[in-house]
Structure 1
Amino acid sequence: MRFARVMALVAAAFAPTVARAEWTEASSAHFVVYADESEAQIRRFAEQLERYHAALAMLTNASPEPPSPSNRVTVYVVRSEQDVRKLHGGNNRFLGGFYLPRAGGSLAIVPTVRTNSRDLDQSMSTLLHEYTHHFMLTSSNFPMPRWYAEGAAEFFSAATFPSAGGVVIGRPALHRAAELLVPGFARDVPVSELLDPPKQTPSRRYDAFYGKSWLLFHYLTFDPERKGQLNRYLQGLTKGRSSREAALEAFGDLAVLEHDLDRYLIKRRMMSFDLKPSLVPSGPVSLRRLAAGEAAILPVRIRSERGVDAEQAKALLVEARAVAARHPDDPRVQAALAEAEHDAGNDREAIAAADAALARDPTLAKAYVQKGLAQFRLAEEAADRAAAYRQARVTFAQLNRREPDHPLPLIYFYYSYMRQDLPPTELAFNGLLKASRLAPFDLGLRMTLVSELVRRHRLADARAAARPIALNPHAGPLARAAQRVIARIDAEPQWDGHDFDILTASVADNAEDPGAD
């Protein structure tokens, strides 16, 4: 009794204040949104996100395939920025929201978003910024320099949604005005440094990198005298030029570019794209009011999907079991309980909860995933490991038949060989390739593909697959591991990958760096 009470107190300490009135799910082609808002508000929010996606597709001339239902971005709208910071962890008091890119489970957590205001609040700007990264990784495998990736995210996310529909893209990024205009507010970043970053950047708490990246992207997009130069710069990169070489070929003298940027910054008016509703359709949005049990388990689900450590998992399980006891017949409650049991190390209990969910709703993808994950972990210690892994594959195969483009069944089919120290079949390897195409934003998955390509002596392909990780500004230690892999491939063309795990070992427990610009 005392243990349960202590664990409940620990759970309360980590709990965001999300257990409020009635929650609604808004489902669209690219997003699933959960919010405790009016139906009109949540529908408008989902439609704005879809219009923003359509604007990105139109302006970048990209058309990525629609994701499978489980591979959409899930957006949880919690009450406040304080709740966001609790869920994120750490001590970033400026955090306005964050995004986690995962195959079959990408999610964003933001505070309440105002949808009826001309000017976006910070939480919506953060969400749009991070979704721009998600979109660009989905629509192109070509690794972009950091200034371009962040400049594009700043450019597109400076948006508004007129009441009549449509989207305005490319408005002045007013939240970057101080770092660009106020002397001494931030360290200035010369355009030459932006395009050719020094190996050792100055040790400052804050600088004008984001603002300057936005300014350069905006200028090259709209200035008539620079028309076509941004495309020529990108073409130079695709030909293997360094960022500086491509910039000199496309932009000319960088000192002149710096001077022109200074003049552009103080212009009284700047251009933007005003996209009418017919150009950026939102598509259908369906609403579903959550049942009492699903609403009650939602705080557990959010924290589980965010990720918990061992202590938090034990505390959260107390809460999950309490909700499940009150709502034993709700399959979504049982699926969330399965995740909480698995996180706490109780794999057999997780399988039982997943089976209970599937008995009531055999279409519930989350229940298949949690059952399969638990079976995989049990298989590691099974007396007959081969039989145990076969059984785990059956669960993921059932999900694959229901949702062929769900990436997790493909990934775990591949893992079922690797975890038995067996060479993956061609079918398993092709599944890994497909999963990486379906979820290019999952950099851990991409690194798994890099490892397999090295093992198969396809070093050129491995190098190409590693570059987007190596250049990703949010990949942290995973980016450094990819850089080491590329350096090894370049130095040793006959490398067989026998020490790949040793080379990348430092990222094993710290591969995820949540986007939180």
Structure 2
Amino acid sequence: MIYGDNDSTALRTYAEKLERFDQAVRFVRGLPEFVPAPVNRLTIYQVKDLDAVQTLYGGGGVGGFYIARASGSIAFVPRDAGAQYRTDLTPDVIFFHEYAHHLMYQRLNAAYPPWLVEGFAEFFSTATVESDGSVAIGKPALHRAELLTGNYTPLPAQVMLAPRRGKMQPLQFAQMYGRGWLLLHYLTFNPRRHGQLDRYIAGIQSGTPAIEAARTAFGSLSKLDNELDSYMRSTHFDYVVVPAAKLHSTAIEVTPLRPGVAAMMPVIMQSKRGVDKKSAPRVAEQARRVAAGFGNDPEVQRALAEAEHDAHNEQAAILAADRSIALDPKLGDAMLTKARSMMRLAAGVGTASARPPAVIDWKPIRAQILMANRLDPDDPEPLMLYSSTFRKAGEPATPSANQGLIYAFETAPQDMGLRWRAAGALLAMGKDAEARVALVPIAYNPHGSDTRDKAFDVLDKLQRGDRPGAMALLAGNLSTPTKGDHKTKEKHDDGGDDD
């Protein structure tokens, strides 16, 4: 799904470009085409320019960003990036970078180190859809030229391939994007290096320390550095062209938004991005103004319910959710918002009459969640929320709640917060090996340093046979959110977390 405020012809062209890119990447990687479940489909918000992206992000230095969530992954990209020179970020580079993240995380069944996560996105970000319908993949990442060829000390492989990003300086983390692209490109197109990347990933996945896996797969890291420095000075970089005959056209439907939804779109985007204590009341007020004129639009009322809940106006959120459900009984999102507000009201969150979990009647709350689950049994979000009610109640999760949580994780492996919770459930069920598989991608995630370091700590305890310690760490941090943000950096990055 792509939302944009430009004309239908431009949106159609944009969508066709994405479809061709998607097919070309799958062809190059040898992946079968498949129709993703609704939860694994990406929603793209194409906003006006970089300023609009950065306003939504909440800071500068960002060209676009991607958030992997069980409730539905989203990306924000600009229509105009202000590119003037060959080394500037273009809208296509940003767009393809973020979509490449989605393709990688859509089937996240292996440990991808930070350099590879970003190098993968950079490798595919330079794709071009040619006039004959073919797609070229693997062209040079000219937008990374400054940090690759400028007056900077190259990022050593010893540092880039280390397991923990915390060992990098902020400038080195910014360099990782370009150096990661360079290494992936080199491993892809140098015949003498074929197969080494697969061996490296397999080594990490099997539990081999990252540096040891790198040395086993790549050999001497100092020699690899020298080869990369030489490769960087190349005057020609190979790339592959996927012929148009290998791709096919896809039916694309462009539909104008209903007036109410169009008016509510700024609120919807901000809510999807996420709000804080400062912005939530402002967004809720904006939502009320819009919703006042569209009382019969279920999606407008759903968006109002979410905004009111984010601002801790629980009674107003429930009323808006009820209006939304009455207008469209299949709006599961509205049901879940209502359930969340019911939980806060029952617990007296934010009031002087806070109630302990043990005296809360959880039956109506769980019944509300199960209504959403019955609408779509494959939707991971109701399963996640249902499982969380047992944790909030201080009760052991039922076997069905644990099984539901694990199924949610299998359905939406891209959500790092869900992975964390699933790892706790797996460990509690005695499935240590499966818990480790769930945790490793969190430990190697480029973003979210707190949760990443905690995942390493849990893995260390499991390695030493300290199951109680591992379970205590998981249980003590089950509420830790991991938004899974990824952002296309423009030039320097301050090394801060995206969460």
1:161 maps to 129
Instruction: Provide the C-alpha distance between the structure 2 equivalents of 1:398 and 1:291, rounded to a whole number of angstroms.
Output: 27
Using CA pairs below 8 Å that are at least 6 residues apart, which structure has the higher relative contact order? Answer: 2
Q: Which runs of 4+ in 1 moved over 6 A?
A: 117-120, 197-200, 382-387
Pairing of 1:17-96 with structure 2 (within 5 A): 32-63=1-32, 66-90=35-59, 92=60, 94-96=61-63
1:189 partner amino acid: L
2:437 partner amino acid: A
Counterparts in 2 of 1:239 and 1:351: CA distance versus 1, 3 Å: closer
State the TM-score, normalizing by the size of structure 1. Answer: 0.84
Q: Does 1:423 align with 2:406?
A: no
Structure 1 position 339, deviation (Å): 0.7
Please state whether the residue corresponding to 1:98 is helix, strand or coil. strand
Please state whether the residue corresponding to 2:171 is helix, strand or coil. coil
Q: Does 1:215 align with 2:182?
A: yes
Structure 1 position 187, deviation (Å): 2.7
2:97 maps to 129
Counterparts in 2 of 1:239 and 1:513: CA distance versus 1, 3 Å: closer
- Can you give the 5+ residue segments of structure 1 that lack an aligned partner in the other structure? 1-31
Instruction: Provide the C-alpha distance between the structure 1 equivalents of 2:67 and 2:466, rounded to a whole number of angstroms.
Output: 34
Instruction: Provide the C-alpha distance between the structure 2 equivalents of 1:501 and 1:246, rounded to a whole number of angstroms.
Output: 27
CA contact (8 A) 2:163 2:444 kept: no
Structure 1 position 87, deviation (Å): 1.4
Structure 1 position 431, deviation (Å): 0.9
1:227 maps to 194
Aligned-residue sequence identity (percent) comes to 36
State the TM-score, normalizing by the size of structure 2. Answer: 0.86
CA contact (8 A) 1:167 1:274 kept: yes
Report the count of equivalent residues: 478
Pairing of 1:271-420 with structure 2 (within 5 A): 271-281=238-248, 283-381=250-348, 388-420=361-393
Instruction: Provide the C-alpha distance between the structure 1 equivalents of 2:195 and 2:356, rounded to a whole number of angstroms.
Output: 64
Counterparts in 2 of 1:140 and 1:294: CA distance versus 1, 3 Å: closer
Q: 1:151 aligns with which of 94, 119, 132?
A: 119
Instruction: Provide the C-alpha distance between the structure 1 equivalents of 2:161 and 2:312, rounded to a whole number of angstroms.
Output: 47
| Cα distance per residue 1:66-111 (max 9 Å; x no partner) | 4332442221122221121111113x3x211112221113221122
Counterparts in 2 of 1:475 and 1:57: CA distance versus 1, 3 Å: farther
Q: 1:445 aligns with which of 418, 431, 439?
A: 418
Instruction: Provide the C-alpha distance between the structure 2 equivalents of 1:455 and 1:150, rounded to a whole number of angstroms.
Output: 33
Instruction: Provide the C-alpha distance between the structure 2 equivalents of 1:45 and 1:487, rounded to a whole number of angstroms.
Output: 46
Q: Does 1:243 align with 2:216?
A: no
Structure 1 position 188, deviation (Å): 0.9
1:191 maps to 157
Counterparts in 2 of 1:67 and 1:351: CA distance versus 1, 3 Å: farther
1:515 partner amino acid: H
Please state whether the residue corresponding to 1:269 is helix, strand or coil. coil
2:3 partner amino acid: Y
CA contact (8 A) 2:111 2:201 kept: no
Instruction: Provide the C-alpha distance between the structure 1 equivalents of 2:381 and 2:231, rounded to a whole number of angstroms.
Output: 47
Instruction: Provide the C-alpha distance between the structure 2 equivalents of 1:484 and 1:240, rounded to a whole number of angstroms.
Output: 14
2:406 maps to 433
| Cα distance per residue 1:272-325 (max 9 Å; x no partner) | 121123434463322220111111111111111211122322222222111111
CA contact (8 A) 1:411 1:431 kept: yes
Instruction: Provide the C-alpha distance between the structure 2 equivalents of 1:221 and 1:456, rounded to a whole number of angstroms.
Output: 41
Instruction: Provide the C-alpha distance between the structure 1 equivalents of 2:346 and 2:360, rounded to a whole number of angstroms.
Output: 8
Structure 1 position 333, deviation (Å): 0.9
| Cα distance per residue 1:460-505 (max 9 Å; x no partner) | 3322221110111112211111112222323343416563368548
Instruction: Provide the C-alpha distance between the structure 1 equivalents of 2:2 and 2:134, rounded to a whole number of angstroms.
Output: 20
Instruction: Provide the C-alpha distance between the structure 2 equivalents of 1:100 and 1:494, rounded to a whole number of angstroms.
Output: 32
| Cα distance per residue 1:42-63 (max 9 Å; x no partner) | 1222222233332333323334
Structure 1 position 175, deviation (Å): 0.9
Counterparts in 2 of 1:378 and 1:323: CA distance versus 1, 3 Å: same
Structure 1 position 202, deviation (Å): 5.8
CA contact (8 A) 1:63 1:139 kept: no
Structure 1 position 233, deviation (Å): 3.0
Please state whether the residue corresponding to 2:255 is helix, strand or coil. strand
